[in-house]
Every structure is written in C-alpha cells, then in structure tokens.
Amino acid sequence: MADATTSAEGSAQEAVPGVADDGASGGSGLLTPEQEAEIRELRQASYQTRRSTVTALEEILYVPLPVLDHGFVRVIDYFGDDGAVVQAARVSYGRGTKRSRDDAGLINYLMRHRHSSPFEMCEIKLHVKLPIFVARQWIRHRTANVNEYSARYSILDREFYVPATENLAAQARVNRQGRGDILGEGEAREVLELLRAESERAYDRYRVLLNEGDDGRLSDPERTGLARELARINLSLNFYTQWYWKIDLHNLLHFVSLRGDEHAQYEIRAYANVILDILQRWVPLTSAAFLDYRLGAYNISAKGLAAVRRMLAGERVERESTGMSSGEWRELTTVLRLDGAQGETDAA
C-alpha cells in the first residue's frame, strides 16, 4: 500500500505476466490497435493523491487479463484496501493499527463471524468482455452497477466463444445442470466444426440484415436494411458482449464464492478465477481470510454437526439415523473423506 501523497501509478511500468511493457495486450488479439493505444495513454498518466493506493493492483490497472478465447477482465478503478476494512470496523480516525498482524486478525474475525458491512466500504470497477450466456448468469448478481455495450446503438464484432476440446462434455447423469464425461475426439471435432460454422453463418446473416458496411454505408443500395435492435436477434448466446461492472468488496466475495465453486459452469468459473487473482492483489489480507473461511471451508448443518460429533466419539453412524438426505450425507462424507456410503471413525 502506498503512503499518502504518492503517485497513483505506483509501479505500473513493472513487468506483468502476459502483458506488454506498455500495458497493452501484447498482440493477443483481445483489443484493437485503437484500444491498445488508449490503454497505453491511460497507463502513462500519473496523478498525485492522498488516498490509499495498492501497488500490486496499480500494476495491472487498465490491462486486459485474458479469459476464454476472446474475453477479458480489466480493472478500471477501485476505492479502499485492507486498511479501509479495518478502519471501518474500528470506526477509527486513522488507518487502523500499525501492525499488519492485528489487522489480519480483525479481518479474520470479521470474515469468520460474517460481519459484512466493513467489507462494503471498498469498491472496484471492472471492464468485462464475456459471452452473452455467461452474462445472463452473471447479471443474476443484482448487487452491482452495470452498464452494457448497446447492440441497439453499435454493431457487434465477429467474436463468438467456441469451447476448447477438453471442455466439451456430455450432460451429467446426476447433476441436471452440469457436464459429465468428456466427448470423444471424433464427436468433439464435429461439435467444434458445427459451432464455428453456425456462429459464422449467424454473423454473416446479421450483417446482411443490417445492410451496413464498416464505413457506415449501405452494402446493397437496393435495400434499406434492418434496424440494429432487430438485426441482432438472430445472434446466438456465444457471441461476446461487454460491460462496466462496479461492486463493493462484500458482494464481490459472494460472487466469487458462488461462481468460483467447482460446481459452477466452467466458463463463468474462469472469470471468477481471474477476479480472485485481482482480489489477491487488491486486498491480500481479506483474500487470505476469504480463502480460509469461505472458499476453503464447508458449512455443516445442525444434523451434520451432530453426526460428526457422534463419529468423533467413536460411534459408527448410519445415514438413516442422522435425519440427513442422501445428497447432504454424500456431500458430508466426501468432504470428510470417509470411505463408503456411511461414515465411521476410530475412537481417538
């Protein structure tokens, strides 16, 4: 964390993995030359501030962090840091104690006991480029401010998501909203060819409906062309959209806990993993507590806790005697790494 009255740019010119020295995408194709020039100009600017800044986050400010085949996440702005969480919790005039160990202990306490309001004092604004079907899942988190790219006003790019071969899988037999076994090589190749062909065809038809060239002129002078708000309706859910997304730290942690879970769909989980990396740069103490008490933890029901206590006492426990459903029992025994359908443990 930088001291007061320091440069907000921090060490933005230090090397960042996968990013060119000038802060652009390094020829990855994520951005147009104009967008890369804009980012370069932003990253070359420097400002004096009395606010707290976070050096590790300044290093990636404005930089597109790749996700999937054409997507990215960019940090546009942020407010607060771990010290702001501590300050809010203590309602202090300064920035909390001078000992990071005390700050970490307080943040751990807040996270462990689910005291959320101090975490709401920090905010971050992200620029996200994502497939439309991922956006439809994402937007269910209604605790953020969102402004999306308008396909009524602008023409969408020829960019659509095609999964990697290793992410093509059949419908799961147990989980009705998840994936099961990976497709065989031959079938996977056919699926990829179909997805690409259908997406290309949909975009070609979109441009025909628009009847508008890149220069804004009519492609066919004999036709008027369809309004942009109507021409877009034949595009599929794998096309990319973009938005600016601003959210407070508490609700961002909730987003990552749900969308970073192993049961979440792979595509949105990929974004959650990138955001988790951003969190670790921005608020390392809060991120460590989050990993310990949220992502790395497991919530046990009252019935489950009673069953665990019986196991610790050396009792052989059958599911039927716990009042737990078969699904909850299966989850509990998996987390506890117990063998078989019933849990048992030797007396200590």
Positions marked catalytic? 259
With beta carbons less than 8 A apart as the criterion, state whether 145 and 246 touch.
Answer: yes
CA 46 to CA 5: how far, in whole Å? Answer: 12
Beta bridge partners of 66: 72
With beta carbons less than 8 A apart as the criterion, state whether 80 and 121 touch.
Answer: yes
Q: Which residues contact 235 (CB under 8 A, 6 or more apart)?
A: 132, 156, 202, 203, 206
Amino acid at 234: N
Q: What is the DSSP string of 78-116?
A: EE--HHHHHHHHHT-SSSS-S-HHHHHHHHHHHHHTT--
Place of tokens 């991922």: 134
Amino acid at 107: I
CA 148 to CA 169: how far, in whole Å? Answer: 30
Q: Specify the DSSP element, H or E, that contains 56.
A: helix 55-58
CA 206 to CA 210: how far, in whole Å? Answer: 6
CA 146 to CA 191: how far, in whole Å? Answer: 33
Q: Is the dihedral of CA 127, 130, 136, 141 positive or negative?
A: negative
Beta bridge partners of 160: 239
CA 343 to CA 148: how far, in whole Å? Answer: 49
With beta carbons less than 8 A apart as the criterion, state whether 132 and 125 touch.
Answer: no
With beta carbons less than 8 A apart as the criterion, state whether 294 and 257 touch.
Answer: yes
